[in-house]
A and B are shown apart, each in its own frame.
Chain A
């Protein structure tokens, strides 16, 4: 352990005295997060893109059906629809013509009765002149109609006609009608800054691994590695010392980036620090393992740099690190990259996803790291000796 600690301290000292390390591993990611987060916010910041609530004219033709339309007035829908009541269909259509409202809905007579008796029933929907407004209104109303269909099924199953209306009311009060999410998310969205912070953190933690690989290759070329190997030190200790040094720098890098972006960019990473640390540790472990593998396979520093750059940039691109919209085939391919699972882990933590979801992603990340670590362990001797 003493030998490993000695080697680790030497590695840390060398890194800390190399000015490029600081710029490359700390400053550059923070600058990129800032630039990309602001420049590409159009992809993410849904709140900025929201249209004003659509004015919807509502006609309920008979009192018994009013309960079915009630969810349209709920708080959850108020962000999207502003309902105005009209006495009859004609007045509502005139208002639509005059542009006083953007969309019209008529709940016909006996609608409730038909629903409760399991018969086919329709709402009259009157789109306005603006397609965008119509789209918003139809999204919300479509969701409500789906619920009514579901409620009708419930009523039939229970044999209690009143259950249908009760189910629609209950759903309307609690649920959100419109969600803007990425797959597996809980319904919240995240900002471009958060997205790129996660992506850049991963990319630059992988670069920390590249620094570890370069350190091995450079020492090999400068013959200082021969000097280490001529000392009474096992090759595995040489590797362990160097990799631990770089690993610690990687963890430090993660802590600084997360803390800095939280304090100065106001970025939300979630409050589960244990999971954040675990995700960072897995990425760092994978990156130094990759460093050992690359050092074993690459004949010189240039080759190693080329291998690593291709790997890091390729994985970052496929996982959506540069642009989130890659199209179906590439996105599918991206799911096979380490960066994808790493970014998903961070994003789930940012969004406050359930522990089970976060753990599931961390498990994949941890397994990938363990696999890379095993390969690195097998190739370790070759990385150091290159005989």
Chain B
């Protein structure tokens, strides 16, 4: 069953179309990665799902409820981790969680339990009485997440939650995302770091100029660019005959020679690596170095748009 459903959603700012007839469905219990470069429309999409802005056209539903018609009911089901660290300098970590917990209707013992759980989950129990001013960037990010999960929402939306933090905190956050998912939450995770999306997502949507240009599991998406798998072999004594014979192999789609460097585009490179080496050896070509380049979401994005994700 769909947890989030967007149908032909359009959002314009003046003459600029930020989201352009976006149709998307996020299933319950999945980690959905929404990938796209800066300004692609990821944050606008998230804001529409959270009811922060209204779509100009189309329908947004969460758990079958329209965001437009039942905004408060929908908001109560969502935990939003904003892109910016949205914290109050004057409140301690615990006061933050108490404040947001109360806004989501928690009171009394239940509230206290949830505060303890959120602090423990984000590793901030020992800092509960400290204010964000004394926190590192990673700790602030974690408190940013704790505020969004204190009411234990079934849908957690994370808008680029790892921007500007150290690798250790990033790993902590990614592991937290997986753990939240294991506990039953549906996660919508946006990023322009394709490694992160690849690492945690069960399904991925790639958005550019407000349009969804690719959608599926990582495996499904990568099949679109599998022909771009490549072997790069640095050689000595490379001959035309050797290049010609490599090109004739059934798995090879294309061969390029630049001085002593041979680039071979082929399907299932690992399976046919042995064949390539055998041909080169047969022609007396020596191998100085060899590497395999596997296509990823970046390759896919480049193929689909002609641009890099971080352009």
A interface residue numbers (CB < 8 A to B): 2-3, 6-7, 10, 13-14, 17-18, 222-224, 226-234, 385, 387
Partner of A227, one of B54, B102, B105, B147: B147
Please determine whether A223 and B82 come into contact, CB atoms closer than 8 angstroms.
Answer: yes
Q: Among the listed A10, A222, A231, which residue makes an inter-chain contact with B104, where contact means beta carbons less than 8 Å apart?
A: A231
The interface residues of chain A lying within 8 Å CB-to-CB of B52 are 226, 229-230, 385
Partner of B103, one of A6, A14, A385: A6
Given contacts A222-B86, A233-B103, contact A10 B91 (CB under 8 A): yes
30 contacts between A and B (CB under 8 A): A3-B103, A6-B103, A7-B103, A13-B90, A13-B91, A13-B95, A17-B90, A222-B84, A222-B86, A223-B82, A223-B84, A224-B86, A224-B88, A226-B47, A226-B82, A226-B86, A227-B80, A227-B82, A227-B100, A228-B103, A229-B51, A231-B103, A232-B73, A232-B76, A232-B103, A232-B105, A233-B103, A234-B72, A385-B52, A387-B53
B contact set with A: CB distance below 8 Å:
47, 50-54, 72-73, 75-76, 78, 80, 82-84, 86-88, 90-91, 95, 99-100, 102-105, 147
> Closest approach, in angstroms, between the C-beta of B262 and any C-beta of chain A?
51
Determine the chain A residues whose CB is within 8 A of the CB of B90 once the complex forms.
13-14, 17-18
* CB of B149 to closest CB in A, whole Å: 13
Q: In the bound complex, what is the Cα–Cα distance between A55 and B99 (angstroms)?
A: 75
Q: Which residues from chain B contact A6 at a C-beta distance below 8 Å?
A: 99, 102-103
A18 to B89, CA, bound (A): 10
**Interface-central residue, B72, B73, B88, by most chain A CB under 10 Å:** B88
Within the complex, what minimum Cβ distance (angstroms) separates A259 from chain B? 27
Q: Are A227 and B91 in contact (CB under 8 A)?
A: no
How far in angstroms is the closest Cβ of chain A from B38? Answer: 16
- The chain B residue with its CB closest to the CB of A9 is B99
* A232, B72: Cα distance in complex, Å: 5
Enumerate chain B residues within 8 angstroms of A385, measured Cβ to Cβ. 52-53
Q: How far is the CA of A222 from the CA of B99 in the complex (A)?
A: 17
Residue contact A230 to B104, C-beta cutoff 8 Å = no
CA distance A227 to B157 in the complex (A): 12
With most chain B CB atoms within 10 A of its CB, the pick from A13, A17, A222, A226 is A226
Contacts of B84 in A (CB 8 A): 222-223
Report yes or no: B51 in contact with A230, Cβ–Cβ below 8 A.
yes
B105 contact set on A, CB distance < 8 A? 232
- The minimal Cβ–Cβ distance linking A64 to chain B, given in whole angstroms, is 84
Q: How many angstroms from the CA of A9 to the CA of B157 in the assembled complex?
A: 27
Are B82 and A231 in touch, CB under 8 angstroms?
no
Nearest-CB residue, chain B, relative to A5? B102
In the assembled complex, which residues on chain B have CB atoms less than 8 Å from the CB atom of A233? 72, 75, 103
**Closest B residue by C-beta to A224:** B86
Chain B residues with CB under 8 Å of A234's CB are 72
The answer on a CB contact under 8 Å between B91 and A14 is yes
Given contact pairs A232-B105, A387-B53, a sample of 5 additional A-B residue pairs in the complex whose CB atoms are under 8 Å apart? A14-B88, A230-B80, A231-B104, A232-B103, A232-B104
| Chain B residues positioned under 8 Å from A14 (CB to CB) | 88, 90-91
Q: Nearest 10 A-B pairs (CB), nearest first? A: A17-B90, A232-B76, A231-B103, A223-B84, A223-B86, A230-B80, A14-B90, A232-B75, A232-B72, A6-B102
Measured CB to CB, the closest approach of chain A to B112, in angstroms, equals 15
Q: How far is the CA of A231 from the CA of B95 in the complex (A)?
A: 16
- Chain B nearest CB, measured from A6 CB (Å): 4
Question: How far does the Cβ of A195 sit from chain B's closest Cβ, in whole Å?
Answer: 36
Minimum CB–CB distance for B225 against chain A, Å: 36
